[in-house]
Structure formats: C-alpha cells, structure tokens
Amino acid sequence: MNYIAAYEEIINQQLARIEKMKKGQEFIDYRSLDKIIIGIIGGDGIGPAITAQAGRVLKYLLASEVKAGKVEFRTIDGCTIENRAAVGKAIPDDVLTEIKKCHVLLKGPTTTPRKGDKWANVESANVAMRKELDLFANVRPVKVPKLGIDWTFFRENTECLYALGSQGVHITEDLAIDFRVITTPGTKRIAQLAFDFARRNAKKRVTIVTKANIVKATDGKFLDVCKSVAKDYPEIEVDDWYIDIMTAKLIDQKRRGQFEVLILPNLYGDILTDEAAEFQGGVGTAGSANLGSHHSMFEAIHGSAPRMVDEGREIYADPSSVIRAGAMLLSHIGYQKKADHLFVALETCTVTEKKLVVTGRSDGATGADFADYILEKVSM
C-alpha cells in the first residue's frame, strides 16, 4: 500500500470539504415550505420497535397538519445492518436517495460493525448520514431541575476521529494509525450555533471542552477558533476545561449547576453527553438533534441493543429516548407549543407521576404501553 498517496488523498478530500464549507448555506425556513416531509427510519435491533411508538406520538400531534397537507410522514426502509453489509456501504444508494427527499428524519439506532463481528466493515450509518447531509451540529439537552442541571451540549458532528474512522491504516502487523481532523470553518460554525443559542436563550456561560494542552494542533485549533467566535458575544462569559477534568466536574454537586452551554469536538461530545444523560435517567431516555442547513435528523443516543431482540424482549424496550427526539423535531420545524406539550408529558410520565415503569423486561411496561401513557397525557 502506498501510504503517502493514501494520506495525500485524505488531505485533498478535507481541503475540498473546507472550500465547500466556506461557501456557506442558509438554514432552511420551514415556514416557507408548502409541505414538511418527515422521514422515519427504524434502524436495527430495538430501533424499529421504539421508533414505531415515537412515530405514533408524532402522527397524533401532527394529525391536523397531515390532514391539511402541511406535513407528510414517510417510512424509509432498508437502512439495516443486513442491507448495508450486503452492499458494502454505510447507507445503500436507494435508501440515501429517499433520505435526501425528506426535510427532517426521526431515526432509530443502527448497528455499527466492529472488528470480529459477522458483518462487513462498513462505516457507521450515523457518521455517513452526518457527512452526506452535512449534519454538523449534534445538540443534546440534559435538564434535571431538582439537581440544578440545565445543560445543552453542542457537539461538532462531522470532524474529529469519527470523520475518518474508516480510513485508518495498518502500517505493519504492529502499527495502526488513525487520523483526526479539525478545521477552522467546521469549528467556527458549531461555535456560532452554540453562542447564538446562548444569546437567544439568555444563557450566561459557554464552556469549551478540549484536551488542548496535550493534543496541541487539532484541539488547539478548536479552542482558538471557539475563543475567536466568542469575541462577537461580549455579554456571554466563556471558560474552557479539559475533557478529563470536565467528566469529573459534571458530577461535582458544587460546580455542575454553573455549566449551561458546552461546545465540544466529536469524540469528547459523545463521551460527555452519555455521562450527562445518566442524570436524566440514562442514555435510554435521552434524545439528540443532528442539525444541518438543509436537512436535520433526530434520534436516540443509545445503541441498537441486539441482545434484547435475540431474547425476544424488543417489545419491552423504552421508547422515551426517541419520543424525546421527536419533541426536539417538533420544536425544530416550528411547532413549539406541541413540542412543549410533549416535553411536559415526558416529564410527567418519567419523573413526577411515573405510573408505568419500563424495565426492558416482562416485569415492566411495554413500549406500546408507555406510548399510550404519553398519548393519554398529551390528549388532556
């Protein structure tokens, strides 16, 4: 293998991507659309089971808009590990074509093969979708009022280690190398989105999370660019933390309530938001938004749990994560009152009232039972 040529190809790909980003794109105005198309992707493992329940809730809340022709739901099949492995692609071409016809997506978890699995070594469907649709911002809110927690994480979605995760090389039997990429325009746009959010929502502090003291080139660039963007928001306090101590400070009762908006590169964002989700009830309850200028995708942050399917327990999987993602979707496309109504219902059903408990096993409620509980609350 010509390693110099492979490295040169990676560099040229990223330089071309930078030029594309520099041209910029305005965010779509959903109010200007004659019809908003919402695609529902079941995914793998428990994905189809939980996404079906979230779809039920969304369709109920948007029933009048569907009837008026303002909203259309489309089911997108084929984004399964079986199909992806069969064609050797992270997203089959025909599936990607259907995805691109939608404005927003509600997506269940998908399986990403790892070394030793029976599946072909295809790239993560999530990573591929983020790159294909340029979903550069992964936004994950975590709110637990009784603990004084109200965090919103802005995780850069198209760079860092994940972006080139399938392009690493084995130099010899003893040496493997992966590549990490951080760009100025990629960092600038996630920082601007985070600071804009902070300004619109009267947040007082934005925290930048890196390991710039050790990873000096890439993390150093991320930190420098974020601080440069911060100068345009003088009313907002800015601090920065290293990822290792940040994981500790999230569980520090004296410190954690001071954090509000956090900006992170891809890998650190993935790790820290999983930790943060534990305060809210675990990763099984958390949803996230993947935002781009022309497409957006909303999903659970947990995996596909194939063991539950193998054991015949998928009907007991907790759909609250994808339902929460659905509430974020409603907010994103302009139905804020419906989103607020659904967020309140989730809070009631999972925290305050909690008449049903989903355990993932037959000693708890089914996903359908929980969705019925949610529908009961949003109907009131």
Q: State the DSSP H helix or E strand holding residue 170, giving kind and residue range, or none if neither.
A: strand 169-172
Of residues 129, 139, 124, the one with CA closest to residue 190: 139
- pLDDT tens profile 125-138: 888 898 899 899 99
Structure-token pair, residue 97: 């074509």
Domain 25-134+292-380 has CATH 3.40.718.10: yes
CB atoms within 10 A of CB 242: 16
At residue 157, φ and ψ (nearest 5 deg) are: -110, -10
Could you tell me the CA-to-CA distances from 21 to 26, 105, 186 in Å, in that order?
Answer: 12, 22, 7
CATH number of 136-156+164-286: 3.40.718.10
- pLDDT tens profile 232-262: 999 999 999 999 999 999 999 999 999 999 9
Vertex 263 angle, CA 260 and 269, to 5°:
105
Determine the Cα–Cα distance for residues 112 and 80; give it in Å rounded to an integer. Answer: 10
Determine the Cα–Cα distance for residues 263 and 203; give it in Å rounded to an integer. Answer: 14
- pLDDT tens profile 309-348: 999 999 999 999 999 999 999 999 999 999 999 999 998 9
Residues of the chain with CATH 3.40.718.10: 25-134+292-380, 136-156+164-286
Tell whether pTM > 0.85. Answer: no
- Give the pLDDT band (50/70/90) at residue 1: low
Paired strand residues for 37: 72
Could you tell me the CA-to-CA distances from 96 to 73, 135, 333 in Å, in that order?
Answer: 17, 14, 22
Length of the chain counted residue by residue: 380
